[in-house]
Chains A and B, each alone.
Chain A
Amino acid sequence: MNKTELKRLLIYLAFSFGLAYAWFFVTNMKFVKWQDLSNPMQSFIALGMLAPLLSHILTRLVTKEGFKLSGKDSMMLGISFKNGKWIFFLIAILLPWIYLELSNALTILFFRELYDPEYYVSLEIDKRLLNIFPLAAIVSGVFGSFAAFGEEAGWRGYMMPKLLKLFGADEDTSLSKGKKLRATILACITGGIIWGLWHAPLTCIGHNFGTDYPGFPFVGIARMCLFCTLMGIMLTFVTVKSGSVWPAAIMHAVNNAGPSILNGYINPERAGTWITKYFSGIWQMAVMLILAIICLTLLLSDKSKIRVKECIEN
């Protein structure tokens, strides 16, 4: 294990967790539940998403790694559409919409009691607005992606390359295909757990899953780690393939904006049984798991390796 890389990673994590936890604490000292906070206050607390970016910059200052914008060991801020890399930007824009709509369709199909054709009315959403909501979410996601960029510049721009290197899954390490797959999976799981734990203060006040579930907040934190691992695999895939953190930032922002029409027809208050109440979200995880497996396979394919090498050489 490369001790220098491990040390750098630990410095980054100390900054990232320290800054974000401090921000979450200072902005919500009374630990008010997420649902009880006003929308503007929720956005204000969410500015803590800029902590990983700040940590990335501070770590590079401390470790004197330099601020190379693109290429190997860089901040991965460059954008290139050459060699078919534009496709990963398109994937980043559309994939969250596809998997959210698909998982919502499956939820309605298997938990029919949740279907409420008038639910959007109770949310005070105009039907015309609901129909164009995915487009609005995508546009606002792409243009207003600064918060998601703040996270991705840290997690995908610094932590994941270090983890891949530490586990021996980077391009420079010559391992057999099986060992490389194992190393990549281990790196992604470790990255997902770290990312999930970083969200813990928010999960503890009910962000993402609320507060009304058995095993609160530990089950929520574990579920967040699982979600972050699956999401992290997809984000790492688009980052490595495009050689830039921008597609990941866009994908993260679009995902956070929740571009789904069917969301306006799923009424969680209609859950009659505990299975529906606590397990209706399982379809989102299932769809994400399938996509994560596809992304991992594509990430480790020989064609992909050649492309990554080409990107680095270019």
Chain B
Amino acid sequence: MGGLLYKDFVSIKGKRVSITIIIIVLLFLLFRVIFPGNGYNEVFTAMTETGEIINIVDTFFVMSLPVFLYTFIMLVSLSFNKTISYDEKNKIRSYLFSLPVDKKKYVASKYVFVGILTYTYLSVYMILNVISAAYLGEIETVTNSSNLCMALAIPGMSLALLMNAVDIPVNLLLGRAKAVTIQTSFWLIVGFAVVALFLFGDLTVLDRWDISKLVEWADTHAFELTLVSIVSPVISLLLFYVSYRITTFFYERKEGIDE
């Protein structure tokens, strides 16, 4: 198993990715220390619609966090797809299955690899969150936004697990080419739905959309958010395991190798 995981690590250029992430975290830390924000720095301030004075530097750091979360969720999926492409391109499976490596172990290695990636990115996201929050002032809107970003960490990464619980079987059972077609079709449908919304939908919904109301809602619904944080990883892990069992069942019975 260790060897299979190392192969996947090499296929995503793991060393380069690790060094890049370490550099990003260090730069984030460095910039946060140089631009400490509200509690320490009274320049770069702006007034909100409600008359609250907030620091733009704080807002910039807090608002960058959802971008990181989204990027990390996507990176988990992209990395997995890259390992599959690497395996198919280099005919890894034909080679592996001629050795005493069974199909179950190969499937398990993919699930474990995605699990490790998810945990690693979740940890990096939490570190960035801690660094960002360390120098925040006591402005309620910004603090609540920062808390919301932290609260989204575990549900966000549960989403990454769920996405891969579908992605892994599709790639392994149908092959990379068909998987790409399905993924493209899915995102095209999403794209068309958005276009349809703009053409025929009620756009006043977007007009009413207010991020500060979401932050306020999160602040007053701590119990519900905590419940989501508890339930979402448990459910996604359970579904991830069910997905593994289903994939193993069909993959062991599958004839031929998609290479």
Residues of A in contact with B (beta carbons under 8 Å apart): 38, 40-41, 43-44, 47, 69-70, 78, 126, 128-129, 132, 135-136, 139-140, 142-144, 146, 149
Contacts and interface: CB of A to CB of B under 8 A. Distances in A.
B130 A136 contact: no
Interface of B: 2, 119, 122-123, 126-127, 130-131, 133-134, 136, 138, 146, 153-154, 157, 222-223, 226-227, 229-230, 233-234
B97 to A, nearest CB: 23
Main secondary structure of the interface of A (DSSP, over half): helix
A117 to B, nearest CB: 20
A242 B73 CA distance: 31
Contacts of B227: 132
Contact of B122 (A135, A136, A144): A144
B153 A136 contact: no
Given A38-B138, A129-B226, 7 more contacts: A40-B133, A44-B130, A128-B223, A132-B223, A136-B229, A144-B153, A146-B122
B226 A132 contact: yes
B131 A44 contact: yes
B101 to A, nearest CB: 17
B136 A40 contact: yes
A70 B2 contact: yes
Contacts of A69: 2
Contacts of A135: 230
A41 B119 CA distance: 24
B122 A40 contact: no
A136 B230 contact: yes
Given A139-B233, A144-B126, A43 B134 contact: yes
A136 B226 contact: yes
Given A69-B2, A126-B223, A136-B226, A143 B122 contact: yes
Contacts of B222: 126, 129
Which of A40, A69, A136, A144 has its CB near the most chain B CB atoms (within 10 A)?
A40
Contacts of A143: 119, 122, 154, 157, 233
Contacts of A40: 130, 133-134, 136, 146
